[in-house]
Amino acid sequence: MTTVALANARVLTDEGFRDDVAVLVENGRIAGLVPPEHADADQGLDLDGGFLLPGFIDVQVNGGGGVLFNNDPTPEGIAAIGRAHIRFGTTAFLPTLISDEAEVMERAVRAARQAIAIGVPGVLGIHLEGPYLAPARKGTHDAGKFRVPDEAEVAMATALDNGITLVTLAPERVPLDTIRSLVRRGAIVCAGHTNGSYEEIRAGLDAGVRGFTHLYNAMSPLQGREPGAVGAALEDRDSWCGIIVDGVHVHPASLRAALAAKPRGKLFLVTDAMPMVGADSPSFQLYGQTITAVDGVVRNAEGALAGSALDMATAVRNCVHLLGLPLAEAARMASTYPAQFLGVDDRMGRIAPGLRADLVLLDDALTVRRTWIGGVPVVA
């Protein structure tokens, strides 16, 4: 068993950044944080004064490396997506299936199970974004695939037995008993692509909805006499909200308002990434349409936003530069808080003894220099 000491870094601990500790990594886990002079290790690694952060956790990854999960719902497709995002500091993720037919969903669930079983780096489970959504807030989803699940489909959608299942749905389109059934079967349920009233969203929360998918986007807005889904999300103290911080999906002022409204730790970063992340081509196929990123903005033929070309390292930088957040808080929004949302904070999301050594090293420009998954260095 080899012990590696990661030294000469500004380490994000539970108390904030510290430059007076080395991180000991042993057998894939963090063995301790110790003064550098007391780092008894088989191997030392000088990190040149960079920022050592917990690895990023992204719960909404539609694609990457030229692969869209809908088009390649296989373990190999998941692995290719993961490889594309690793270089941007993402060490754990949920491959995300956009609304599709039941047979594609079944293949995707089976692929996630297989990917976890064979140890594809970083995959935690699956995110089924739809097809139980509202046509009025469809975004780039194909409303022709929208439906209400029966018990057989609920069982299929929650069949992943070795990982996390996240389901995004419109609470006003799905019976409350079905939401309760999804939760009983172990799924995390989020509201998204919803045109629900405040009262309908509130009923969904009471039935077990835990969070909101890409807050503000594809949901009924907050207005003075109609709080809508956004109002319900901002008011609720217990739910989590994923946010896309790319300067396009949501105005920085709206994001700062959400930060002020929600308890600390209840907002976390997502990318909603599409295949162009980590790929040379700016285009891909979805539902037979060509989707293209122009100046970093991804839209379909009708002009609707169609996911993003965002990676997690850029999202963290944007939190610092667009929102004025301290790097420590931006990093927690990319690691600690999504881990808490997913219920995996007992094994990842912080740099602390006993947790998995999922780590990312940034330089002063907040660019990724190194990434580790389970203590194993990967190419950045």
Annotation: binding site: 129, 140, 193, 214, 217-218, 225, 249, 305-307
Q: Which three-class secondary structure state does DSSP give residue 254?
A: helix
Query: How far is the C-alpha of 63 from the C-alpha of 72, rounded, in Å?
Result: 10
Query: How far is the C-alpha of 363 from the C-alpha of 373, rounded, in Å?
Result: 19
User: Any catalytic annotation for residue 272?
Assistant: yes
Exactly one of 58, 100, 272, 358 is catalytic; name it: 272
Place of tokens 């719902």: 73
Q: Which residues are annotated as a binding site for substrate?
A: 140, 217-218, 225, 249, 305-307
φ/ψ of 248, rounded to 5, equals: -120, -50
CA distances from 317 to 133, 254, 311, 320 (A): 32, 18, 10, 5
- DSSP letters, 132-174, are S--GGG-TTS-GGG-----HHHHHHHT---SSEEEEEE-TTTS
For residue 153 the two structure tokens come to: 């489909």
What's at 348, amino acid-wise? M
Q: What pairing do the DSSP bridges indicate for beta strands 376-378 and 29-34? A: unpaired
Q: Which residues are annotated as a binding site for Zn(2+)?
A: 129, 193, 214
For residue 142 the two structure tokens come to: 């194909």
Query: How far is the C-alpha of 266 from the C-alpha of 238, rounded, in Å?
Result: 8
Residues in the chain: 380
Q: Which residues does the annotation mark as catalytic?
A: 272
